[in-house]
A and B are shown apart, each in its own frame.
Chain A
Amino acid sequence: MSASVTRCPGCGSSNIVDDDLYCQAQRVCVDCGSVVSEGVLTDDWTGDTEISYSRTTAVARKPCLNLIKGLQRVKAICRILRVNSEIENHSQTYYTQAYQHEAFIRVSLQKKEVLAGCCVLVSCRLLNWPITMGTISCLLDADPVVVGAVYQEMIKILNIKAPVFIINDVIEAHSQEYKISSLHVPEELAENSRDLTKRAVALVELAADTWIVTGRHPTPIMMASIYLSWQSLKPNKHRLKLTLDKFCQMAKVNKLKPAMKRIAEMKEVLCKLGREIPWVREAVTPDNVMQQVEDILNYRFALLRRALRTHEETLQTESEASGQDSVPEEAASSQVSEHGEQNSNAPTAEECELNAGSVQRPRDGNDDPHTEPDGNTGGGESQAPAPNWGKRVLFAPPCVVHPKRRRVERPECKDVTGDEEISDSEIDSYIRTPREAREFALTQKMLSESEKT
Protein backbone atom coordinates (compact mmCIF):
# COMPACT_ATOMS: atom_id res chain seq x y z
CA MET A 1 0.00 0.00 0.00
CA SER A 2 1.45 3.33 -1.04
CA ALA A 3 1.48 5.80 1.78
CA SER A 4 2.72 8.57 -0.36
CA VAL A 5 -0.49 9.12 -2.39
CA THR A 6 -1.93 12.36 -1.10
CA ARG A 7 -4.45 13.22 -3.80
CA CYS A 8 -7.34 11.16 -5.13
CA PRO A 9 -6.78 10.21 -8.77
CA GLY A 10 -10.51 10.41 -9.40
CA CYS A 11 -11.48 13.84 -8.07
CA GLY A 12 -8.18 15.33 -6.96
CA SER A 13 -9.27 15.71 -3.37
CA SER A 14 -6.71 15.47 -0.64
CA ASN A 15 -9.28 14.19 1.86
CA ILE A 16 -8.00 10.61 2.00
CA VAL A 17 -8.46 8.38 5.03
CA ASP A 18 -7.26 4.97 6.09
CA ASP A 19 -10.12 2.51 6.15
CA ASP A 20 -9.30 -0.25 8.57
CA LEU A 21 -12.74 -1.77 8.89
CA TYR A 22 -11.93 -4.87 6.91
CA CYS A 23 -9.14 -7.37 6.74
CA GLN A 24 -7.66 -5.56 3.79
CA ALA A 25 -6.20 -2.17 4.60
CA GLN A 26 -7.33 0.50 2.18
CA ARG A 27 -6.97 4.19 1.60
CA VAL A 28 -10.23 5.74 0.51
CA CYS A 29 -11.19 9.16 -0.78
CA VAL A 30 -13.90 10.60 1.44
CA ASP A 31 -15.30 12.92 -1.22
CA CYS A 32 -15.82 10.47 -4.10
CA GLY A 33 -15.38 7.09 -2.40
CA SER A 34 -12.67 5.80 -4.70
CA VAL A 35 -10.19 3.33 -3.31
CA VAL A 36 -6.91 5.13 -3.71
CA SER A 37 -4.72 2.23 -2.67
CA GLU A 38 -5.07 -1.06 -0.95
CA GLY A 39 -2.97 -3.60 0.85
CA VAL A 40 -2.58 -7.31 0.24
CA LEU A 41 -5.71 -9.40 0.48
CA THR A 42 -5.45 -12.00 3.19
CA ASP A 43 -7.60 -14.89 4.33
CA ASP A 44 -5.77 -15.28 7.62
CA TRP A 45 -7.13 -13.86 10.78
CA THR A 46 -4.66 -11.10 11.56
CA GLY A 47 -5.95 -10.41 14.99
CA ASP A 48 -7.66 -7.19 14.03
CA THR A 49 -10.50 -6.00 16.16
CA GLU A 50 -13.86 -7.63 15.57
CA ILE A 51 -16.01 -5.56 13.31
CA SER A 52 -19.67 -5.81 14.10
CA TYR A 53 -22.36 -5.56 11.46
CA SER A 54 -23.93 -2.56 13.15
CA ARG A 55 -20.61 -0.75 13.10
CA THR A 56 -19.98 -1.32 9.41
CA THR A 57 -23.44 -0.35 8.29
CA ALA A 58 -24.29 2.43 10.69
CA VAL A 59 -24.25 5.90 9.28
CA ALA A 60 -25.28 7.73 12.41
CA ARG A 61 -26.19 5.66 15.45
CA LYS A 62 -29.77 6.43 16.46
CA PRO A 63 -30.75 6.03 20.11
CA CYS A 64 -32.83 2.94 20.85
CA LEU A 65 -36.56 3.65 20.63
CA ASN A 66 -37.33 1.52 23.65
CA LEU A 67 -34.74 3.42 25.67
CA ILE A 68 -36.44 6.68 24.72
CA LYS A 69 -39.84 5.29 25.65
CA GLY A 70 -38.41 3.97 28.90
CA LEU A 71 -37.00 7.38 29.78
CA GLN A 72 -40.37 8.94 29.04
CA ARG A 73 -41.98 6.38 31.32
CA VAL A 74 -39.50 7.29 34.06
CA LYS A 75 -40.44 10.92 33.59
CA ALA A 76 -44.14 10.10 33.74
CA ILE A 77 -43.73 8.13 36.98
CA CYS A 78 -41.81 11.02 38.49
CA ARG A 79 -44.54 13.45 37.49
CA ILE A 80 -47.27 11.26 38.96
CA LEU A 81 -45.35 11.01 42.24
CA ARG A 82 -44.56 14.75 42.06
CA VAL A 83 -40.94 14.26 42.94
CA ASN A 84 -38.41 17.01 42.42
CA SER A 85 -36.26 17.43 39.33
CA GLU A 86 -33.15 16.07 41.02
CA ILE A 87 -34.84 12.72 41.58
CA GLU A 88 -36.11 12.76 38.02
CA ASN A 89 -32.60 13.33 36.65
CA HIS A 90 -31.10 10.65 38.86
CA SER A 91 -33.79 8.19 37.80
CA GLN A 92 -33.14 8.83 34.14
CA THR A 93 -29.40 8.41 34.58
CA TYR A 94 -29.84 5.12 36.41
CA TYR A 95 -32.31 3.91 33.83
CA THR A 96 -29.94 4.66 30.96
CA GLN A 97 -27.09 2.85 32.72
CA ALA A 98 -29.18 -0.17 33.71
CA TYR A 99 -30.89 -0.42 30.33
CA GLN A 100 -27.58 -0.74 28.52
CA HIS A 101 -26.22 -3.35 30.89
CA GLU A 102 -26.24 -6.92 29.60
CA ALA A 103 -28.53 -7.99 32.43
CA PHE A 104 -31.36 -5.81 31.15
CA ILE A 105 -30.72 -5.10 27.47
CA ARG A 106 -32.53 -8.22 26.28
CA VAL A 107 -35.32 -8.51 28.82
CA SER A 108 -39.02 -8.09 27.96
CA LEU A 109 -40.58 -4.65 27.64
CA GLN A 110 -42.65 -5.38 30.73
CA LYS A 111 -39.50 -5.94 32.75
CA LYS A 112 -37.99 -2.76 31.34
CA GLU A 113 -41.04 -0.89 32.57
CA VAL A 114 -40.53 -2.40 36.00
CA LEU A 115 -36.90 -1.30 35.75
CA ALA A 116 -38.10 2.26 35.16
CA GLY A 117 -40.12 2.11 38.38
CA CYS A 118 -37.17 0.66 40.29
CA CYS A 119 -34.89 3.47 39.11
CA VAL A 120 -37.39 6.00 40.45
CA LEU A 121 -37.63 4.05 43.71
CA VAL A 122 -33.88 3.96 44.30
CA SER A 123 -33.50 7.66 43.44
CA CYS A 124 -36.25 8.52 45.92
CA ARG A 125 -34.53 6.49 48.62
CA LEU A 126 -31.14 8.04 47.95
CA LEU A 127 -32.56 11.55 48.09
CA ASN A 128 -34.72 10.96 51.18
CA TRP A 129 -38.07 10.96 49.47
CA PRO A 130 -40.26 8.49 51.37
CA ILE A 131 -41.91 5.91 49.15
CA THR A 132 -42.69 2.22 49.42
CA MET A 133 -42.11 -0.56 46.95
CA GLY A 134 -45.83 -1.23 47.13
CA THR A 135 -46.55 2.21 45.70
CA ILE A 136 -44.28 1.56 42.73
CA SER A 137 -45.83 -1.89 42.19
CA CYS A 138 -49.27 -0.33 42.25
CA LEU A 139 -48.26 2.39 39.77
CA LEU A 140 -46.78 -0.13 37.39
CA ASP A 141 -49.56 -2.65 38.00
CA ALA A 142 -46.83 -5.23 38.46
CA ASP A 143 -46.28 -8.16 40.80
CA PRO A 144 -44.40 -6.90 43.90
CA VAL A 145 -42.20 -10.01 43.75
CA VAL A 146 -41.06 -9.12 40.22
CA VAL A 147 -40.48 -5.51 41.25
CA GLY A 148 -38.42 -6.69 44.20
CA ALA A 149 -36.30 -9.02 42.06
CA VAL A 150 -35.61 -6.34 39.43
CA TYR A 151 -34.82 -3.81 42.15
CA GLN A 152 -32.27 -6.06 43.82
CA GLU A 153 -30.63 -6.98 40.54
CA MET A 154 -30.46 -3.35 39.51
CA ILE A 155 -28.81 -2.11 42.71
CA LYS A 156 -26.33 -4.97 42.45
CA ILE A 157 -25.24 -4.25 38.88
CA LEU A 158 -25.16 -0.48 39.36
CA ASN A 159 -23.44 -0.92 42.72
CA ILE A 160 -25.83 1.41 44.53
CA LYS A 161 -25.82 1.62 48.31
CA ALA A 162 -29.47 2.43 48.77
CA PRO A 163 -30.55 3.44 52.26
CA VAL A 164 -32.93 1.16 54.09
CA PHE A 165 -36.63 1.81 54.14
CA ILE A 166 -37.66 3.59 57.36
CA ILE A 167 -41.32 3.35 58.18
CA ASN A 168 -41.45 6.60 60.16
CA ASP A 169 -40.51 8.58 57.05
CA VAL A 170 -43.20 7.00 54.92
CA ILE A 171 -46.14 7.23 57.26
CA GLU A 172 -46.75 10.91 56.63
CA ALA A 173 -47.05 10.33 52.91
CA HIS A 174 -49.13 7.22 53.52
CA SER A 175 -51.61 9.05 55.75
CA GLN A 176 -52.40 11.50 52.93
CA GLU A 177 -54.17 8.66 51.11
CA TYR A 178 -56.84 8.47 53.78
CA LYS A 179 -59.78 10.71 52.87
CA ILE A 180 -60.96 11.57 56.35
CA SER A 181 -60.72 15.32 56.43
CA SER A 182 -63.83 17.43 56.95
CA LEU A 183 -64.12 17.80 53.16
CA HIS A 184 -64.70 14.09 52.70
CA VAL A 185 -66.55 12.83 55.77
CA PRO A 186 -68.99 14.24 58.35
CA GLU A 187 -67.50 16.47 61.01
CA GLU A 188 -67.81 13.94 63.84
CA LEU A 189 -65.70 11.42 61.89
CA ALA A 190 -63.30 13.91 60.34
CA GLU A 191 -59.74 14.35 61.56
CA ASN A 192 -57.06 16.89 60.91
CA SER A 193 -54.29 15.34 58.81
CA ARG A 194 -51.48 16.81 60.91
CA ASP A 195 -52.83 15.52 64.23
CA LEU A 196 -53.59 12.16 62.71
CA THR A 197 -50.08 11.79 61.30
CA LYS A 198 -48.41 12.95 64.51
CA ARG A 199 -50.35 10.41 66.57
CA ALA A 200 -49.75 7.66 64.01
CA VAL A 201 -45.99 8.34 63.98
CA ALA A 202 -45.88 8.03 67.77
CA LEU A 203 -47.82 4.75 67.60
CA VAL A 204 -45.46 3.38 64.95
CA GLU A 205 -42.45 4.34 67.09
CA LEU A 206 -43.97 2.54 70.04
CA ALA A 207 -44.69 -0.48 67.85
CA ALA A 208 -41.10 -0.46 66.61
CA ASP A 209 -39.77 -0.35 70.17
CA THR A 210 -41.91 -3.31 71.17
CA TRP A 211 -40.88 -5.58 68.29
CA ILE A 212 -44.04 -5.30 66.23
CA VAL A 213 -42.41 -3.63 63.21
CA THR A 214 -39.14 -5.49 62.62
CA GLY A 215 -39.41 -8.08 59.87
CA ARG A 216 -42.99 -7.17 59.01
CA HIS A 217 -44.48 -5.62 55.91
CA PRO A 218 -44.81 -1.91 56.70
CA THR A 219 -48.11 -1.04 55.03
CA PRO A 220 -50.44 -3.00 57.36
CA ILE A 221 -48.62 -1.48 60.35
CA MET A 222 -49.17 2.00 58.96
CA MET A 223 -52.83 1.24 58.33
CA ALA A 224 -53.25 -0.09 61.88
CA SER A 225 -51.54 2.93 63.40
CA ILE A 226 -53.65 5.38 61.40
CA TYR A 227 -56.83 3.56 62.39
CA LEU A 228 -55.87 3.52 66.07
CA SER A 229 -54.73 7.12 65.85
CA TRP A 230 -58.08 8.16 64.39
CA GLN A 231 -59.99 6.27 67.08
CA SER A 232 -57.90 7.64 69.93
CA LEU A 233 -58.06 11.30 68.86
CA LYS A 234 -61.78 11.30 69.65
CA PRO A 235 -62.49 8.00 71.44
CA ASN A 236 -66.27 8.29 71.43
CA LYS A 237 -68.67 5.38 71.05
CA HIS A 238 -69.23 6.00 67.37
CA ARG A 239 -65.56 5.82 66.45
CA LEU A 240 -64.78 2.92 68.74
CA LYS A 241 -67.58 0.88 67.20
CA LEU A 242 -66.44 1.47 63.63
CA THR A 243 -64.58 -1.57 62.40
CA LEU A 244 -61.47 -1.44 60.27
CA ASP A 245 -63.55 -2.53 57.28
CA LYS A 246 -65.91 0.40 57.61
CA PHE A 247 -63.05 2.79 58.33
CA CYS A 248 -61.27 1.77 55.14
CA GLN A 249 -64.47 2.14 53.13
CA MET A 250 -64.99 5.59 54.59
CA ALA A 251 -61.40 6.64 53.96
CA LYS A 252 -61.49 5.13 50.47
CA VAL A 253 -58.50 2.86 50.89
CA ASN A 254 -58.19 -0.89 50.33
CA LYS A 255 -58.22 -2.82 53.54
CA LEU A 256 -55.21 -5.03 54.24
CA LYS A 257 -55.95 -8.24 56.10
CA PRO A 258 -52.75 -8.31 58.21
CA ALA A 259 -53.73 -4.88 59.58
CA MET A 260 -56.29 -6.61 61.85
CA LYS A 261 -53.53 -8.61 63.54
CA ARG A 262 -51.35 -5.50 63.89
CA ILE A 263 -54.22 -3.67 65.55
CA ALA A 264 -54.59 -6.50 68.08
CA GLU A 265 -50.83 -6.55 68.75
CA MET A 266 -50.63 -2.78 69.17
CA LYS A 267 -53.64 -2.76 71.49
CA GLU A 268 -51.96 -5.44 73.61
CA VAL A 269 -48.86 -3.27 73.95
CA LEU A 270 -50.98 -0.22 74.77
CA CYS A 271 -52.79 -2.23 77.45
CA LYS A 272 -49.49 -3.33 79.03
CA LEU A 273 -48.42 0.30 79.25
CA GLY A 274 -51.85 1.58 80.19
CA ARG A 275 -51.82 -0.62 83.28
CA GLU A 276 -48.79 1.31 84.55
CA ILE A 277 -50.52 4.70 84.51
CA PRO A 278 -50.80 5.62 88.18
CA TRP A 279 -54.02 7.64 87.93
CA VAL A 280 -56.02 4.99 86.06
CA ARG A 281 -57.95 2.96 88.59
CA GLU A 282 -60.00 0.71 86.37
CA ALA A 283 -58.61 -2.30 84.57
CA VAL A 284 -57.19 -1.42 81.15
CA THR A 285 -58.49 -3.75 78.46
CA PRO A 286 -58.40 -3.60 74.65
CA ASP A 287 -61.96 -2.25 74.78
CA ASN A 288 -61.20 0.79 76.90
CA VAL A 289 -57.52 1.44 76.16
CA MET A 290 -58.24 4.00 73.42
CA GLN A 291 -59.15 6.58 76.03
CA GLN A 292 -55.67 6.25 77.54
CA VAL A 293 -53.69 6.38 74.29
CA GLU A 294 -52.88 10.08 74.57
CA ASP A 295 -51.39 9.67 78.03
CA ILE A 296 -49.62 6.46 77.06
CA LEU A 297 -47.91 8.13 74.10
CA ASN A 298 -47.02 11.28 76.03
CA TYR A 299 -45.37 9.29 78.82
CA ARG A 300 -44.37 6.20 76.91
CA PHE A 301 -40.71 6.08 77.96
CA ALA A 302 -41.53 6.31 81.62
CA LEU A 303 -44.35 3.78 81.24
CA LEU A 304 -42.03 1.40 79.38
CA ARG A 305 -39.51 1.59 82.22
CA ARG A 306 -42.21 1.03 84.80
CA ALA A 307 -43.68 -1.89 82.89
CA LEU A 308 -40.29 -3.58 82.53
CA ARG A 309 -39.51 -3.05 86.21
CA THR A 310 -42.90 -4.42 87.25
CA HIS A 311 -42.45 -7.44 85.02
CA GLU A 312 -39.00 -8.09 86.42
CA GLU A 313 -40.27 -7.86 89.98
CA THR A 314 -43.11 -10.24 89.16
CA LEU A 315 -40.72 -12.77 87.69
CA GLN A 316 -38.38 -12.47 90.64
CA THR A 317 -41.24 -13.04 93.03
CA GLU A 318 -42.39 -16.07 91.03
CA SER A 319 -38.92 -17.52 90.84
CA GLU A 320 -38.36 -17.02 94.56
CA ALA A 321 -41.63 -18.73 95.22
CA SER A 322 -40.73 -21.69 93.02
CA GLY A 323 -37.11 -21.76 94.17
CA GLN A 324 -35.53 -20.96 90.79
CA ASP A 325 -32.92 -18.28 90.31
CA SER A 326 -32.02 -18.17 86.64
CA VAL A 327 -35.16 -17.06 84.83
CA PRO A 328 -35.66 -13.39 85.73
CA GLU A 329 -32.14 -12.39 84.78
CA GLU A 330 -32.50 -13.84 81.32
CA ALA A 331 -35.93 -12.27 80.84
CA ALA A 332 -34.67 -8.80 81.68
CA SER A 333 -31.94 -9.04 79.07
CA SER A 334 -34.36 -9.29 76.15
CA GLN A 335 -36.39 -6.23 76.99
CA VAL A 336 -36.94 -3.12 75.00
CA SER A 337 -34.27 -0.61 75.88
CA GLU A 338 -33.84 1.63 72.90
CA HIS A 339 -34.16 4.89 74.76
CA GLY A 340 -31.31 4.61 77.15
CA GLU A 341 -33.19 2.65 79.73
CA GLN A 342 -30.70 0.64 81.71
CA ASN A 343 -31.81 -2.24 83.80
CA SER A 344 -29.83 -2.34 87.00
CA ASN A 345 -30.36 -6.09 87.24
CA ALA A 346 -29.10 -6.75 83.71
CA PRO A 347 -27.28 -10.06 83.60
CA THR A 348 -23.87 -10.61 82.19
CA ALA A 349 -23.72 -11.78 78.62
CA GLU A 350 -22.10 -15.03 79.70
CA GLU A 351 -25.08 -15.92 81.91
CA CYS A 352 -27.45 -15.34 79.04
CA GLU A 353 -25.36 -17.51 76.74
CA LEU A 354 -25.30 -20.24 79.34
CA ASN A 355 -29.04 -20.04 79.75
CA ALA A 356 -29.58 -19.93 76.01
CA GLY A 357 -27.36 -22.93 75.38
CA SER A 358 -28.72 -25.07 78.16
CA VAL A 359 -31.17 -27.86 77.40
CA GLN A 360 -31.84 -28.50 81.06
CA ARG A 361 -34.09 -25.54 81.63
CA PRO A 362 -37.28 -26.30 83.52
CA ARG A 363 -40.42 -26.56 81.46
CA ASP A 364 -43.52 -24.42 81.88
CA GLY A 365 -46.33 -25.86 83.98
CA ASN A 366 -48.67 -26.71 81.08
CA ASP A 367 -47.90 -28.23 77.75
CA ASP A 368 -48.30 -25.14 75.65
CA PRO A 369 -49.44 -26.17 72.17
CA HIS A 370 -47.74 -23.13 70.74
CA THR A 371 -44.33 -24.01 72.04
CA GLU A 372 -42.37 -25.33 69.13
CA PRO A 373 -40.51 -28.56 69.76
CA ASP A 374 -37.44 -27.60 67.79
CA GLY A 375 -33.99 -28.13 69.28
CA ASN A 376 -31.95 -24.99 69.47
CA THR A 377 -28.80 -26.88 70.17
CA GLY A 378 -29.38 -29.94 68.00
CA GLY A 379 -32.38 -31.94 66.96
CA GLY A 380 -31.76 -35.15 68.83
CA GLU A 381 -30.37 -33.91 72.13
CA SER A 382 -33.55 -33.46 74.12
CA GLN A 383 -36.97 -34.99 73.73
CA ALA A 384 -38.62 -32.11 75.69
CA PRO A 385 -39.56 -29.04 73.62
CA ALA A 386 -37.31 -26.02 74.19
CA PRO A 387 -38.94 -23.47 76.51
CA ASN A 388 -40.15 -20.39 74.68
CA TRP A 389 -38.11 -17.40 75.91
CA GLY A 390 -40.63 -15.09 74.28
CA LYS A 391 -43.29 -15.99 76.80
CA ARG A 392 -41.10 -14.97 79.74
CA VAL A 393 -40.34 -11.44 78.59
CA LEU A 394 -42.71 -8.51 78.53
CA PHE A 395 -42.15 -7.55 74.90
CA ALA A 396 -40.95 -9.97 72.28
CA PRO A 397 -41.42 -10.41 68.54
CA PRO A 398 -44.86 -11.98 68.01
CA CYS A 399 -43.33 -14.80 65.96
CA VAL A 400 -41.48 -15.88 69.11
CA VAL A 401 -44.45 -15.50 71.45
CA HIS A 402 -46.73 -17.45 69.10
CA PRO A 403 -44.42 -19.71 67.11
CA LYS A 404 -45.68 -21.85 64.25
CA ARG A 405 -46.14 -25.49 65.05
CA ARG A 406 -43.26 -27.41 63.53
CA ARG A 407 -43.15 -31.02 62.50
CA VAL A 408 -41.32 -33.03 65.15
CA GLU A 409 -37.97 -34.16 63.80
CA ARG A 410 -37.43 -37.88 64.02
CA PRO A 411 -34.29 -38.62 65.96
CA GLU A 412 -31.93 -40.10 63.41
CA CYS A 413 -29.10 -42.48 64.12
CA LYS A 414 -26.10 -40.28 64.75
CA ASP A 415 -23.12 -42.54 64.28
CA VAL A 416 -23.20 -43.05 60.56
CA THR A 417 -19.91 -43.28 58.67
CA GLY A 418 -21.34 -43.29 55.16
CA ASP A 419 -19.53 -46.55 54.31
CA GLU A 420 -21.97 -48.96 55.90
CA GLU A 421 -23.03 -52.11 54.15
CA ILE A 422 -26.18 -51.64 52.12
CA SER A 423 -28.52 -54.61 52.29
CA ASP A 424 -29.94 -56.04 49.08
CA SER A 425 -33.37 -56.36 50.59
CA GLU A 426 -33.52 -52.66 51.31
CA ILE A 427 -32.56 -51.80 47.72
CA ASP A 428 -35.05 -54.34 46.39
CA SER A 429 -37.78 -52.64 48.35
CA TYR A 430 -37.31 -49.59 46.14
CA ILE A 431 -37.51 -51.48 42.85
CA ARG A 432 -40.83 -52.51 41.36
CA THR A 433 -41.30 -56.11 40.26
CA PRO A 434 -42.08 -56.58 36.55
CA ARG A 435 -45.73 -57.20 37.42
CA GLU A 436 -45.94 -54.00 39.48
CA ALA A 437 -44.29 -52.07 36.66
CA ARG A 438 -46.83 -53.37 34.15
CA GLU A 439 -49.76 -52.54 36.40
CA PHE A 440 -48.37 -49.07 37.08
CA ALA A 441 -47.96 -48.36 33.35
CA LEU A 442 -51.49 -49.56 32.68
CA THR A 443 -52.97 -47.41 35.44
CA GLN A 444 -51.08 -44.36 34.18
CA LYS A 445 -52.37 -44.97 30.69
CA MET A 446 -55.95 -45.29 31.96
CA LEU A 447 -55.62 -42.11 34.00
CA SER A 448 -54.21 -40.11 31.12
CA GLU A 449 -56.98 -41.34 28.82
CA SER A 450 -59.64 -40.41 31.35
CA GLU A 451 -58.10 -36.95 31.72
CA LYS A 452 -58.20 -36.45 27.95
CA THR A 453 -61.91 -37.35 27.83
Chain B
Amino acid sequence: RFAAVIMRIREPRTTALIFSSGKMVCTGAKSEEHSRLAARKYARVVQKLGFPARFTDFKIQNMVASCDVCFPIRLEGLVLTHQQFSSYEPELFPGLIYRMVKPRIVLLIFVSGKVVLTGAKERAEIYDAFENIYPILKGFRKQ
Protein backbone atom coordinates (compact mmCIF):
# COMPACT_ATOMS: atom_id res chain seq x y z
CA ARG B 1 0.00 0.00 0.00
CA PHE B 2 1.23 3.41 -0.87
CA ALA B 3 -0.08 6.59 0.70
CA ALA B 4 0.06 8.74 -2.43
CA VAL B 5 -1.71 9.24 -5.74
CA ILE B 6 0.40 8.49 -8.80
CA MET B 7 -0.37 10.85 -11.65
CA ARG B 8 1.15 11.14 -15.10
CA ILE B 9 1.05 13.78 -17.81
CA ARG B 10 2.12 13.51 -21.41
CA GLU B 11 4.12 16.66 -21.86
CA PRO B 12 6.63 16.89 -20.28
CA ARG B 13 6.50 13.13 -19.90
CA THR B 14 6.66 12.78 -16.13
CA THR B 15 5.17 11.01 -13.13
CA ALA B 16 4.09 12.66 -9.91
CA LEU B 17 3.42 11.32 -6.43
CA ILE B 18 0.86 13.50 -4.70
CA PHE B 19 0.42 13.15 -0.96
CA SER B 20 -2.53 14.10 1.19
CA SER B 21 -0.37 16.67 2.98
CA GLY B 22 -0.13 18.60 -0.27
CA LYS B 23 3.48 17.65 -0.91
CA MET B 24 4.34 16.38 -4.36
CA VAL B 25 7.31 14.64 -5.98
CA CYS B 26 7.71 14.96 -9.76
CA THR B 27 10.06 12.54 -11.53
CA GLY B 28 11.15 11.75 -15.08
CA ALA B 29 11.74 15.21 -16.51
CA LYS B 30 14.69 15.79 -18.82
CA SER B 31 15.78 19.14 -17.38
CA GLU B 32 15.22 21.43 -14.42
CA GLU B 33 12.93 23.66 -16.46
CA HIS B 34 10.90 20.70 -17.69
CA SER B 35 10.56 19.50 -14.11
CA ARG B 36 9.27 22.90 -12.95
CA LEU B 37 6.83 23.14 -15.83
CA ALA B 38 5.55 19.62 -15.17
CA ALA B 39 5.17 20.30 -11.44
CA ARG B 40 3.16 23.46 -12.23
CA LYS B 41 0.89 21.45 -14.51
CA TYR B 42 0.22 18.89 -11.79
CA ALA B 43 -0.55 21.72 -9.38
CA ARG B 44 -2.93 23.19 -11.95
CA VAL B 45 -4.71 19.82 -12.32
CA VAL B 46 -5.14 19.61 -8.55
CA GLN B 47 -6.47 23.19 -8.52
CA LYS B 48 -8.96 22.42 -11.27
CA LEU B 49 -10.22 19.47 -9.29
CA GLY B 50 -11.33 21.96 -6.67
CA PHE B 51 -8.53 21.88 -4.10
CA PRO B 52 -7.14 25.21 -2.88
CA ALA B 53 -3.65 24.34 -4.13
CA ARG B 54 -0.73 26.71 -4.49
CA PHE B 55 2.62 26.08 -6.12
CA THR B 56 5.36 26.80 -3.58
CA ASP B 57 8.82 25.57 -2.49
CA PHE B 58 9.78 23.94 -5.75
CA LYS B 59 13.23 22.38 -5.34
CA ILE B 60 15.33 20.01 -7.41
CA GLN B 61 16.15 17.09 -5.11
CA ASN B 62 18.02 14.75 -7.43
CA MET B 63 19.51 14.83 -10.91
CA VAL B 64 20.62 11.78 -12.89
CA ALA B 65 22.89 12.00 -15.90
CA SER B 66 24.42 9.44 -18.23
CA CYS B 67 27.27 9.57 -20.68
CA ASP B 68 29.59 7.38 -22.72
CA VAL B 69 33.34 7.74 -22.80
CA CYS B 70 33.51 5.41 -25.83
CA PHE B 71 36.28 3.18 -24.59
CA PRO B 72 36.18 0.02 -22.44
CA ILE B 73 37.14 0.31 -18.77
CA ARG B 74 39.04 -2.22 -16.63
CA LEU B 75 36.78 -2.20 -13.58
CA GLU B 76 39.04 -4.67 -11.72
CA GLY B 77 41.93 -2.27 -12.02
CA LEU B 78 39.87 0.76 -11.01
CA VAL B 79 38.57 -0.89 -7.86
CA LEU B 80 42.12 -1.81 -6.81
CA THR B 81 43.53 1.68 -7.13
CA HIS B 82 40.46 3.54 -5.81
CA GLN B 83 39.34 1.05 -3.22
CA GLN B 84 38.25 3.64 -0.69
CA PHE B 85 35.68 5.06 -3.12
CA SER B 86 34.75 1.99 -5.20
CA SER B 87 32.63 -1.08 -4.80
CA TYR B 88 32.73 -3.73 -7.52
CA GLU B 89 30.97 -7.06 -7.00
CA PRO B 90 30.36 -8.72 -10.37
CA GLU B 91 28.34 -11.44 -8.66
CA LEU B 92 25.81 -8.80 -7.61
CA PHE B 93 25.95 -6.00 -10.20
CA PRO B 94 27.91 -5.60 -13.44
CA GLY B 95 28.93 -2.01 -12.78
CA LEU B 96 31.37 -0.42 -10.40
CA ILE B 97 29.80 1.93 -7.82
CA TYR B 98 32.05 4.93 -7.26
CA ARG B 99 31.13 7.23 -4.38
CA MET B 100 32.82 10.50 -5.07
CA VAL B 101 33.37 12.71 -2.06
CA LYS B 102 33.66 16.09 -3.70
CA PRO B 103 31.19 16.68 -5.19
CA ARG B 104 29.04 14.14 -3.38
CA ILE B 105 27.94 12.14 -6.37
CA VAL B 106 27.54 8.42 -6.96
CA LEU B 107 28.74 7.11 -10.31
CA LEU B 108 27.91 3.76 -11.87
CA ILE B 109 30.73 2.83 -14.19
CA PHE B 110 30.34 0.00 -16.67
CA VAL B 111 32.84 -1.95 -18.73
CA SER B 112 31.31 -0.54 -21.93
CA GLY B 113 32.44 2.95 -20.97
CA LYS B 114 28.96 4.13 -20.09
CA VAL B 115 28.74 6.11 -16.88
CA VAL B 116 25.65 7.08 -14.86
CA LEU B 117 25.96 9.98 -12.39
CA THR B 118 23.35 10.52 -9.72
CA GLY B 119 22.76 12.36 -6.46
CA ALA B 120 23.27 15.89 -7.75
CA LYS B 121 21.23 18.85 -6.58
CA GLU B 122 22.70 21.11 -9.25
CA ARG B 123 23.88 20.65 -12.81
CA ALA B 124 27.35 21.94 -11.94
CA GLU B 125 27.90 19.00 -9.59
CA ILE B 126 27.35 16.57 -12.47
CA TYR B 127 29.88 18.38 -14.64
CA ASP B 128 32.41 18.57 -11.81
CA ALA B 129 32.01 14.88 -11.09
CA PHE B 130 32.56 14.01 -14.72
CA GLU B 131 35.62 16.28 -14.94
CA ASN B 132 37.03 14.41 -11.94
CA ILE B 133 36.28 10.89 -13.17
CA TYR B 134 37.29 11.19 -16.82
CA PRO B 135 41.08 11.32 -16.24
CA ILE B 136 40.77 8.37 -13.86
CA LEU B 137 38.88 6.33 -16.45
CA LYS B 138 41.36 7.25 -19.15
CA GLY B 139 44.04 5.78 -16.93
CA PHE B 140 42.34 2.41 -17.22
CA ARG B 141 41.96 2.51 -20.94
CA LYS B 142 45.48 1.37 -21.74
CA GLN B 143 47.40 -0.67 -19.20
Are B70 and A148 interface neighbours, CB within 8 A?
Answer: no
Does B4 interact with chain A (Cβ within 8 Å)? no
Given contacts A214-B75, A346-B142, contact A416 B49 (CB under 8 A): no
Contact of A214 among B41, B68, B74, B92 (CB under 8 A): B74
Are A349 and B111 interface neighbours, CB within 8 A?
Answer: no
Considering the chains assembled together, what is the distance between the CA atoms of A145 and B88 in angstroms? 15
Considering the chains assembled together, what is the distance between the CA atoms of A144 and B90 in angstroms? 12
CB closest residue in chain B, given A387: B70
Contact of A352 among B67, B71, B76, B88 (CB under 8 A): B71
Does B123 interact with chain A (Cβ within 8 Å)? no
Contact of B41 among A211, A356, A376, A422 (CB under 8 A): A422
Contact of A416 among B31, B45, B141 (CB under 8 A): B31
Residues of A contacting B33 in the complex (Cβ-Cβ under 8 angstroms): 416-418
Residues of B contacting A211 in the complex (Cβ-Cβ under 8 angstroms): 72, 111
Q: Is the interface of A mostly helix, strand, loop or mixed?
A: loop
Stretch of A12-20, A72-80, A330-338 contacting B (4+ beta carbons < 8 Å): A330-338
The size bracket of the interface on B is: 35 or more
CB closest residue in chain A, given B75: A214
Considering the chains assembled together, what is the distance between the CA atoms of A333 and B70 in angstroms? 11
Are B142 and A215 interface neighbours, CB within 8 A?
Answer: no
Considering the chains assembled together, what is the distance between the CA atoms of A165 and B45 in angstroms? 52
User: What are 21 contact pairs spanning A and B, CB under 8 A?
Assistant: A133-B91, A144-B92, A152-B89, A152-B92, A161-B83, A164-B79, A214-B72, A215-B75, A215-B110, A215-B111, A333-B142, A337-B142, A349-B138, A356-B69, A412-B12, A412-B34, A418-B34, A419-B36, A422-B37, A426-B41, A427-B48
Q: Which positions in A face B, CB cutoff 8 Å?
A: 132-134, 144-145, 148, 152, 161, 164-166, 208, 211, 214-219, 333-334, 337-338, 346, 349, 352, 355-356, 374, 376, 379, 389-390, 396-397, 399-400, 403, 412, 416-420, 422, 426-428, 430-431
